[in-house]
């Protein structure tokens, strides 16, 4: 195998349970975003643009759809002769076989994979953030500082800092302390879950960490504190672009809606940093004589006869005449029948909404069986993938409709 300077490993095994019904059958990185993407398109496209052509994707929870989606890696230009993209589920070896116990253990179990490419550095990424970032810049800073690890950080509002892993640094951005979700944060530089490690240093720490039976085998909880304790050189790398953890229904909805802002914080139309995705080979969309489309993103294969306002429609969505889609995110292939009203909702892949159905309504008498404020905060309503809702039903806001409502 040809040696590589840098290999990327994307942690894509998380269940993403706070996304409720959206991740019941797919892993979080495979959740659709922004009309024609999946969350994992962002780190994969970032890798391609950063010149990293060898990427391992570590899967564990519900990997099938993600595996199929990644395929040969061709959409991201990662179908390479040397290197490319590899899906890495846990496996059984002669001695033992086990699930990935934590983020660090997932990499530990794939030391053999990384070693095949004999890299100087590894980039560890998470598969559940929306951002555009040049990892090559970060790698350059890592090399220049002669660091053992470099952690990407972003400034977060002080009042939110206690929700993040916070890096306390000196004036040269060298990390002096790491605090996971501190009650009284000393800094507002939050870890983005993007790490560059010098591979031979990381490998040593992974092996030691594995021997420690009390360890959670986690980068944030174990590996980083241990390296700090041992006086290794850990640098923070400031990132000042758009970065969003889309781990909850509200943050996923927000991140979609932010694309529709007058001056969006993240420009997805940047021709020099395209976000690649698998193309469904659908025809252009059709907007009919009865349609009204305003302030929205619409993509291939849609047929629009109704009203679409301030919403994001994924491929192959149908909105019949008289139907209204407002402040919503409609995932691939969903069907919105005549006179239905969808308000502030996420409608799952392939869901069928019957005639005159009201989703996310405040009307009295609306069905409240599915109200789930734990998953669906901020008046957002979620309709699970493939769910069918019969004609005329009103679904109260903050619901998570997990099963079909049949006639």
Partner 1 sequence: MHNSTLGLIFSENPEANLGDLTNLRALAAVPVGGRYRIIDFILSNMVNTGIANVGITTTSKMQSLTDHLGTGKDWDLARKQNGLFILPHNEAYDSNEQYGVDYIYNAFSYLRRSRQDYVLVSDCNTICNLTYEDVEKLHMEKDADITMVYKKVGKVEDSRLKRHIFLDVDEDGRVTDMQLYPTVQKLNNSYMHMFYIKKSLLLELVGDCIAHGKHKLNADLLMSNIDKLKIYAYEFVGYSKTIDNIKTYFGFNLDLLKKDVRDELFGTKDDDRIYTKVKDTVPTRYGKDSSVTNSIIADGCVIEGTVKNCIIFRGVKIGEGAVVENSIIMQNSQIMENCLVENAIFDKEVILREGKKLVGQETYPVIIGKRVVV
Indicate the residue among 279 and 404 with the shorter CB distance to partner 1: 279
3-class secondary structure per residue, 38-87: ECCHHHHHHHHHCCCCEEEEECCCCCHHHHHHHCCCHHHCCCCCCCEEEE
3-class secondary structure per residue, 120-176: CEEEEEECCEEECCCHHHHHHHHHHCCCCEEEEEEECCHHHHHHCEEEEECCCCEEE
Provide, rounded to whole angstroms, the least separation between the CB of residue 133 and partner 1: 18
Provide, rounded to whole angstroms, the least separation between the CB of residue 261 and partner 1: 11
Residues 312-341 that bind partner 1 (CB under 8 A): 312-313
Joined tokens for residue 189: 């530089």
Residues 66-85 that bind partner 1 (CB under 8 A): 74-75
Cβ pair 227, 112 in contact under 8 A: no
Cβ pair 22, 384 in contact under 8 A: yes
Binds partner 1 by CB under 8 A, chosen from 65, 210, 303, 379? 303
Indicate the residue among 213 and 281 with the shorter CB distance to partner 1: 281
Among the candidate windows 61-69, 170-178, 237-245, 271-279, which touches partner 1 by CB under 8 A?
271-279
Cβ pair 313, 295 in contact under 8 A: no
Among the candidate windows 9-17, 21-29, 143-151, 284-292, which touches partner 1 by CB under 8 A?
284-292
Binds partner 1 by CB under 8 A, chosen from 93, 146, 214, 289? 289
Burial classification of residue 247, based on how many CB atoms lie within 10 Å of its CB (0-12 exposed, 13-18 middle, 19 or more buried):
middle
Binds partner 1 by CB under 8 A, chosen from 15, 68, 269, 404? 269
First-to-last alpha carbon distance for the chain, in angstroms, is: 59
**With contacts defined by CB under 8 A, how many residues of the chain interact with partner 1?**
35
Provide, rounded to whole angstroms, the least separation between the CB of residue 243 and partner 1: 19
Which of 103, 147, 100, 102 has its CA nearest to residue 121?
Answer: 147
Among the candidate windows 181-189, 225-233, 295-303, 355-363, which touches partner 1 by CB under 8 A?
295-303
Q: What is the DSSP letter of 356?
A: T
Indicate the residue among 17 and 295 with the shorter CB distance to partner 1: 295
Residues 26-55 that bind partner 1 (CB under 8 A): 34-36
Joined tokens for residue 200: 């031979």
Provide, rounded to whole angstroms, the least separation between the CB of residue 349 and partner 1: 14
Buried b (16+ CB within 10 A) or exposed e, 90-124: beeeeeeeeebbbbbbbbbbbeebbeebebebbbb
Among the candidate windows 112-120, 239-247, 282-290, 341-349, which touches partner 1 by CB under 8 A?
282-290
Indicate the residue among 145 and 260 with the shorter CB distance to partner 1: 260
Indicate the residue among 25 and 274 with the shorter CB distance to partner 1: 274
- Binding-site ranges for partner 1 (CB under 8 A): 34-36, 74-75, 268-269, 274-277, 279, 281-289, 291-300, 303, 308, 312-313
């Amino acid at each position: 195998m040809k040696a590589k300077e840098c290999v990327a490993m994307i942690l894509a095994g998380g269940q993403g349970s706070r996304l409720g019904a959206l991740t019941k059958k797919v892993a979080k990185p495979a959740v659709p975003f922004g009309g024609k993407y999946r969350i994992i398109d962002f780190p994969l496209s970032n890798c391609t643009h950063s010149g990293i052509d060898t990427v391992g994707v570590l899967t564990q929870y519900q990997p099938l759809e993600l595996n199929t989606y990644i395929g040969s890696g061709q959409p991201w230009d990662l179908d390479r002769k040397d290197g490319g993209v590899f899906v890495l589920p846990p496996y059984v070896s002669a001695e033992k076989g086990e699930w990935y116990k934590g983020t660090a253990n997932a990499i530990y179990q794939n030391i053999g994979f990384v070693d095949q490419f004999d890299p100087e550095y590894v980039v560890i990424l998470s598969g559940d953030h929306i951002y555009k970032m040049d990892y090559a810049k970060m790698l350059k800073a890592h090399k220049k500082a002669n660091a053992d690890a470099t952690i990407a950080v972003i400034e977060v509002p002080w009042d939110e800092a206690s929700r993040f892993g916070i890096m306390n640094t000196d004036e040269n951005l060298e990390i002096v302390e790491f605090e996971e979700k501190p009650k009284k944060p000393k800094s507002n530089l939050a870890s983005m879950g993007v790490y560059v490690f010098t591979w031979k240093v990381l490998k040593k720490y992974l092996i030691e960490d594995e021997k420690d039976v009390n360890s959670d085998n986690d980068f944030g909880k174990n590996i980083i504190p241990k390296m700090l304790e041992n006086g290794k050189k850990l640098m923070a790398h400031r990132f000042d672009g758009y970065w969003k953890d889309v781990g909850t229904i509200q943050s996923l909805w927000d991140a979609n809606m932010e694309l529709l802002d007058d001056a969006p914080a993240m420009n997805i139309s940047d021709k020099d940093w395209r976000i690649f995705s698998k193309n469904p080979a659908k025809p252009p969309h059709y907007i009919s004589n009865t349609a009204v489309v305003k302030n929205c993103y619409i993509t291939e294969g849609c047929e629009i006869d109704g009203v679409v306002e301030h919403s994001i429609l994924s491929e192959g969505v149908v909105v019949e005449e008289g139907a209204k889609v407002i402040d919503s995110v409609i995932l691939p292939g969903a069907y919105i029948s005549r006179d239905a009203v969808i308000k502030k909702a996420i409608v799952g892949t392939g869901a069928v909404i019957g005639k005159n159905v009201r989703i996310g309504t405040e009307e009295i008498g609306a069905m409240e069986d599915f109200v789930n404020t734990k998953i669906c905060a901020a008046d957002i309503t979620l309709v699970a993938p493939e769910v069918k809702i019969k004609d005329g039903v009103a679904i109260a806001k903050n619901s998570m409709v997990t099963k079909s409502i049949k006639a």
